[in-house]
Amino acid sequence: MNHHTKGTTMLTARRTVGLAAALTAALALSACGSADTISGSGDESGGAESTTITVGSAGFAESEIIAEIYAQALEAQGVTVERTMQIGQRDVYISALEDGSIDLIPDYSGNLLQYYNSEADASSSDEVYEALTEAVPDGFEVLDQSSAEDKDSYNVTKEFSEKHGVTSLADLADVDEKLVIGGNPELKERPYGPTGLTDVYGVPAANMSFKPINDSGGPLTVEALRDGTVNVADLFTTSPAIAENGFVTLDDPENLILPQNVLPLINSDAATDEVAETLNAVSAELTTEALIEMNARNQGEEKASPATIAKDWLAETGLV
């Protein structure tokens, strides 16, 4: 389904259209022969040296961290990697994939499925993945998904939860206070946005307003929830801010928000056997707990860079 027999198709410097904000700092990680590396060999002979892959990321830190993991793992196998990080939201980076500005980007299974097929009725992680492999258009594919999951989630303060008896999205239907939903601008139109809250949980549309906050559940969204600008906020489940602030993540018993397993979305021409094997090895090791820890290093006092975090994780897991 996602295993590749594409031989040794090589990419060249075919790109004439780049993103204006492209970052192309390549990290030169040598692939020294070691039984601990992804392939079990540091041999750079064959075609790997002539392969060039441009790795991109969405416009938030976690995506860049995972993209760096992909990039550095590939470099350790002798693949030449260019980077175009912090591209923006899905509409923007899918366009970059389509025009050839990038070849590879980490994504999240459920949201990517809804992007390509909003009518899909898959609900479990495996069902979503299976449907996604069919929904991705010709010329692109998803590789193995990881167990690591980072979902959108609706959060309230502990005080709001206790005042209104709210622990589930279903409870929002009975709140007699105006609900101000805070999240990225595109959340307003997503299937799991305010319309989904009405359709699935019966939350009256007249009792909701939407506050766009364009930082992908980052510090601006957190502060808006803390100071009462919004009383319901969309935060990623791997955000350290949820535990740090004692926020209550509302249960989603009807699976309004689909499973969101991390996986590589890649141009099929770039998905050689070697590339697929390398990225699948990363997915086999990546966990939700690791994402939370890596995000904490980036967002907390350490403020570690995505490149540093990726390098450390690859070393800790023995992949590089």
Let me know how long the chain is: 320
Whether 138 maps to a domain, the answer reads yes
Whether 140 and 164 map to the same domain: the answer is: no
Whether 138 and 278 map to the same domain: the answer is: yes
Whether 138 and 177 map to the same domain: the answer is: no
CATH number at residue 68: 3.40.190.10
Alpha-carbon distance of 266 to 143, in angstroms, equals 8
Better pLDDT: 7 or 144: 144
Whether 162 and 301 map to the same domain: the answer is: no
Closest to 309 (Cα-Cα) out of 281, 290, 284? 290
CATH number at residue 164: 3.40.190.120
Whether 127 and 273 map to the same domain: the answer is: yes
DSSP label of 210: E
pLDDT in tens, 209-252: 999 999 989 999 999 999 999 999 999 999 999 999 999 999 99
Number of domains present in the structure of the chain = 2
Whether 143 and 164 map to the same domain: the answer is: no
Residue 237, number of CB atoms within 10 A of its CB: 18
Whether 273 and 133 map to the same domain: the answer is: yes
How much is the pTM? Answer: 0.74
Determine the structural domain holding residue 171 and report its residue range: 152-249
Per the CB < 8 A criterion, the answer to whether 142 and 289 are in contact is no
Whether 240 and 95 map to the same domain: the answer is: no
Whether 284 maps to a domain, the answer reads yes
At residue 30, does pLDDT exceed 60?
no
Last residue of a domain, one of 249, 279, 295: 249
